[in-house]
Chain A
Amino acid sequence: MSNVIHASHLTLTYGKTGKEVIKDANFSIKKGEFVFITGPSGSGKSTLLKALYGKLTPSQGNLVVGGLDLANVRPRKLQELRTHMGIIFQDYKLVNEWTVKKNVVLPLMIAGYDTEVQDTQAHRLLKHVKLPDHADKYPLELSGGEQQRVGVARALAKNPVVILADEPTGNLDDYSSNVIWDLMENACQQLDTTVLVVTHKIPTIFSLPYRHFIIESKGVYEVH
């Protein structure tokens, strides 16, 4: 299987001070793998995730995602790469002035799908995330768990190659957390999507085989 993500001698610095968060990291993630990244607060988990979707440029080494070296990527290529990613944030990052349906179909809108396809997909995805009657509501009318499920539906909308999730169940109730883990497991199992989840704690009930990386003292280590 080919590598979807490959880091070699990767160093990431953060902020104006140029503080090193990750130093000389080497790892590879293959297509269809489910990966957990854990580590103490402030260890650089979210920083690594930002680097993976091109928000942060590596200061040294290489970080190749989907065949593109993010250390030297052109903005247009990065933009295209992002259309193949599904990103889930702890704070949801939904557009509050848009309806739930419009938020969910954002990746389809960007890809230029017509409204009929968008409507069908929105209906299917909202059913999947157990929010079938919330299409015309606005994010602020929903609970945190519901908003995160909308975020997950949006991430899955275009069957992405990679899902990057930053603490997706951080502040959620058990019901919403379970729905989200199920959806990500299904995406990985059925669509061969690579899923990379940054979290404090790996869920206790998890049926899929997974890889576990830990970030500690600026290094990224795999736990066997």
Chain B
Amino acid sequence: MKFIKNHLMFILPLMAILLGIEFYLVFERTTNSYEKGLKEGYSMLVVTHKPMELSEFQTLNEHISTSETIKREYIVFEVAKGISKSGSEEILAALPYFYNLGLDSYLHTSELEKIKKNLESNIDIKKVETFGSSYNSNYRLFSFIKFILKVFIVFMGVVSLFLIIKQMEIWKYAHKERMQVMEIFGAPMMLRSGVLFRIAFVDAIFATILVSAIFFYTKFYWAAGSGIDIMMQNQEALFKFTDIAILLGSAILIVIIAVYTVVFSSKGVQE
């Protein structure tokens, strides 16, 4: 019972940190695809006096990545119903040129304003419409969710770290005497800390397996049948097998830091 308790006291906080890391990875992946969707769905409308190429827009601002010409014939077709052909041609000649400009990333509204100013500084550009208000509300909501989740992950990490420090104190208390005696008789550090490393590595592997199992289950069993759109659409992002390596690497790194701290703080003979 004591054996299980001792292991759980390290496995649980380690699991909390690993869950935080995995949440972060999943969140980054899902928000990246969402961000990509927002970015791709967004474009600004530019009205120009003369035809313009993408490179011309790009010289005005480097964030502009695509330029799509809106065919003026459609506009004329819509507004000039019942008008003669020559009348239509006159309207077409009088119409300015319309472009939908795409951006390379999901930018802050202040950046959008900057792009607008850059574009408007060109005398050939008549008008720029950024659709700022709808973009702004999307951006703020998205940033807020991202911030809250990161705060939650950091909070979880800090609390878990304190629990790990507590466990390190218990380790120090339990292993100090043995390590000090071994040190007096000239045992190298790896031999002195061998037991502690073995315990900690086993705990790290257990914590990694448990966290991986949770996300594996979420991806393959729960998400598919959950009926939650965002889960079903982003099922692939919920867990990747490379995550196991990241989790195990993180767990082992935490273990090494924790054990070395205990070993170095236990150096010297008790007076």
**Measuring CB to CB, which residues of chain A are less than 8 angstroms from any residue of chain B?**
50, 53, 55, 79-83, 85, 87, 93-98, 106-107, 109-110, 154
On whether A107 and B177 interact (CB within 8 A), knowing A50-B269, A55-B269, the answer reads no
Closest to A96 in B: B177
Tell me the smallest distance from the CB of A78 to a CB of chain B, in Å. 8
B178 with A98: CB separation less than 8 A: yes
A residues less than 8 Å from B178 (CB atoms):
95, 97-98
Tell me, in angstroms, the Cα distance from A111 to B182 when the chains sit together: 12
Tell me, in angstroms, the Cα distance from A53 to B269 when the chains sit together: 11
A residues less than 8 Å from B87 (CB atoms):
none
B181 with A95: CB separation less than 8 A: yes
Closest to A76 in B: B188
B residues less than 8 Å from A80 (CB atoms):
186
Considering only residues 130-181 of chain B, those with a C-beta below 8 Å from chain A are 177-178, 180-181
A110 with B182: CB separation less than 8 A: yes
On whether A53 and B184 interact (CB within 8 A), knowing A96-B177, A110-B191, the answer reads yes
Number of residues in B with C-beta < 8 Å to the partner? 13
Beyond the given pairs A82-B186, A83-B185, A106-B185, 7 more chain A to chain B contacts, judged by CB atoms under 8 angstroms and listed by A's residue number, are: A50-B269, A79-B187, A81-B186, A82-B184, A95-B177, A106-B182, A110-B187
A residues less than 8 Å from B187 (CB atoms):
79, 106, 109-110
* 8 CB-based A-B contacts, threshold 8 Å: A50-B269, A80-B186, A83-B185, A93-B269, A95-B178, A106-B185, A109-B191, A110-B188
Closest to B195 in A: A97
Tell me the smallest distance from the CB of B50 to a CB of chain A, in Å. 78
B268 within 8 A of A: yes
Tell me the smallest distance from the CB of A7 to a CB of chain B, in Å. 21
Ranked 8 nearest A-B pairs via Cβ: A82-B186, A83-B186, A110-B187, A95-B178, A79-B186, A55-B269, A93-B181, A107-B185
Tell me, in angstroms, the Cα distance from A64 to B269 when the chains sit together: 21
B residues less than 8 Å from A82 (CB atoms):
184-186
A106 with B181: CB separation less than 8 A: yes
B residues less than 8 Å from A154 (CB atoms):
185
Closest to A97 in B: B178
Tell me the smallest distance from the CB of B170 to a CB of chain A, in Å. 14
Tell me, in angstroms, the Cα distance from A106 to B183 when the chains sit together: 11
Tell me the smallest distance from the CB of B159 to a CB of chain A, in Å. 31
B residues less than 8 Å from A93 (CB atoms):
180-181, 184, 269
A residues less than 8 Å from B268 (CB atoms):
55
A residues less than 8 Å from B184 (CB atoms):
53, 55, 82, 87, 93
Tell me, in angstroms, the Cα distance from A93 to B184 when the chains sit together: 10
Closest to A98 in B: B178
Tell me, in angstroms, the Cα distance from A154 to B268 when the chains sit together: 19
Tell me the smallest distance from the CB of B99 to a CB of chain A, in Å. 71
B residues less than 8 Å from A50 (CB atoms):
269
Tell me the smallest distance from the CB of A109 to a CB of chain B, in Å. 8
A residues less than 8 Å from B191 (CB atoms):
109-110
Tell me, in angstroms, the Cα distance from A55 to B186 when the chains sit together: 12
Tell me the smallest distance from the CB of B182 to a CB of chain A, in Å. 7
Tell me, in angstroms, the Cα distance from A98 to B179 when the chains sit together: 12
B186 with A94: CB separation less than 8 A: no
A residues less than 8 Å from B180 (CB atoms):
93
Closest to B178 in A: A95
B residues less than 8 Å from A83 (CB atoms):
185-186
A residues less than 8 Å from B182 (CB atoms):
106, 110
A residues less than 8 Å from B185 (CB atoms):
82-83, 85, 87, 106-107, 110, 154
